[in-house]
Amino acid sequence: MAVLRATDVHLAYGPIRAVRGCTFHLDEGETVAIVGANGAGKTTLMRGLCGLLAPADGSIEVLGGPLAGRRPDELARDGLLHIPEGRGTISNLDVLDNLRLAYEIRPTTVGFEAAIEAVFARFPRLKERSDQRAGSLSGGEQQMLALARAIVNRPKVLLVDEPSLGLSPLMIGEVFRTLREFQEAGMSIMLVEQNVVKALKLAHRAYVLRQGEIVLEGKGGELAQKTEVLEAYLGSH
Ligand SMILES: Nc1ncnc2c1ncn2[C@@H]1O[C@H](COP(=O)(O)OP(=O)(O)O)[C@@H](O)[C@H]1O
Ligand SMILES: [Mg+2]
């Protein structure tokens, strides 16, 4: 069953048509990667999928119903979490309050205290930093916090945009390990990455976006082997 389906979607900023006629889907429990060069339209696509940018044309279905007319906060309550490019944490709030906000979108019977313990078990560094402003954390710690929001929020669908951007190799490894844990817990994940090799390894399926259009799709592992084809589309990988 598809938890997300885009049909012939066009997204534009005024006259700039950033996404042109994209059709794709994400099945329940699946991890799908969207890869593409800088400026291909990946972030724009993510904004469309979480309701931040209304399609100029085409339709999007999320969690069994049309996206049109549902506000981003309603979608978040229904189980769609968007971790935007550049983390999406609130820099003036401390670590704990950032997590509390994510929890309160979808409170569970587990309770905040228990949810937070799961975060601190996964990311002990965040426990040490729990009363620090998010804006004062290192880039890697901010990405941990962004991913930790998904641990307390427990979304059905996670849209995550360039989680490894600007991080050290050690932190990149940590990011992908965390995504794999989410995957193993049954979360449906749409992952945008410029780190193509790692993204294709993690993903069940992937789409290659080029200048706003899907030019290639396939199983993650199969696409990973087509490195020459990918290079032609991505410039590098
Ligand atoms: N807010 C905006 N206003 C106008 N054009 C934008 C805006 N954001 C992105 N674009 C343009 O849309 C295209 C796709 O950008 P983006 O979705 O950010 O690509 P990617 O995430 O793949 O790097 C680019 O040509 C970019 O310049
Ligand atoms: Mg982007």
Residue 179 confidence (pLDDT): 97
Q: What is the mean pLDDT of residues 99-104?
A: 94
Residue nearest to atom 27 of ligand 1 (CA): 39
Q: What is the pLDDT of residues 30-49, one digit of tens each?
A: 999 999 999 999 999 999 99
Probe residue for ligand 1, chosen from 13, 35, 47, 215 as the CB with the greatest number of ligand atoms within 8 Å: 13
Does residue 182 have a pLDDT over 70?
yes
Average per-residue pLDDT for the chain: 93
**Better-scored residue on pLDDT, 70 or 25:** 25
Average pLDDT (14-20) is 96
| Closest to 218 measured CA to CA, from 205, 209, 227 | 205
> What single string gives the DSSP state of each residue in the chain?
-EEEEEEEEEEEETTEEEEEEEEEEEETT-EEEEE--TTSSHHHHHHHHTTSS--SEEEEEETTEE-TT--HHHHHHHTEEEE-TT----TTSBHHHHHHHHHHHS--TT-HHHHHHHHHHH-HHHHHTTTSBGGGS-HHHHHHHHHHHHHHH--SEEEEE-TTTT--HHHHHHHHHHHHHHHHTT-EEEEEES-HHHHHHH-SEEEEEETTEEEEEEEHHHHHH-HHHHHHHHS--
Residue nearest to atom 24 of ligand 1 (CA): 39
* Residue 112: band (very low, low, confident or very high) from pLDDT cuts 50, 70, 90: very high
* Mean predicted confidence (pLDDT) in 168-187: 95
Banded model confidence at residue 202, pLDDT cuts 50, 70, 90 = very high
What residue owns the CA closest to ligand 1's atom 11? Answer: 18
Model pLDDT, residue 19: 98
Question: Please, which residues have CB within 8 angstroms of residue 209's CB and are 6 or more apart in sequence?
Answer: 22, 34, 35, 36, 40, 41, 42, 45, 215
Q: Please give the average per-residue pLDDT across 83-104, as a whole number.
A: 92
pLDDT of residue 72: 84
Q: Which residues line ligand 1 (CB under 6 A)?
A: 13, 16, 18, 36, 38-44
Closest residue by Cα to residue 99 from 175, 136, 88, 109: 88
The model's confidence at residue 237, banded by pLDDT at 50, 70 and 90, is: very low
Residue spans in the chain of domains classed CATH 3.40.50.300: 2-79+155-234
Going from the Cα of 17 to the center of ligand 1, the distance in angstroms, rounded, reads 9
Contact status, residue 135 vs residue 91, Cβ threshold 8 Å = yes
Q: Which residue has the higher pLDDT, 100 or 72?
A: 100
CATH superfamily of the domain spanning 2-79+155-234: P-loop containing nucleotide triphosphate hydrolases (3.40.50.300)
Q: What is the mean pLDDT of residues 190-219?
A: 94
Atom 9 of ligand 1: nearest residue by CA position: 44
| Among protein residues, the one whose CA lies closest to atom 4 of ligand 1 | 13
Query: The whole model's pTM is what?
Result: 0.94
Closest CA to 80 of 71, 90, 93: 71
State the pLDDT at residue 231: 78
Share of the chain above pLDDT 90, in %: 82
CA of 171 to the centre of ligand 2 (A): 19
> Rounded to the nearest whole angstrom, what is the distance from the C-alpha of residue 219 to the centroid of ligand 1?
26
- Distance (angstroms) between ligand 1 centre and the Cα of 44 equals 6
- Which residues, including other chains, have CB under 8 Å from residue 142's CB and lie 6 or more apart? 87, 89, 134
- Is residue 228 predicted with pLDDT exceeding 80? no
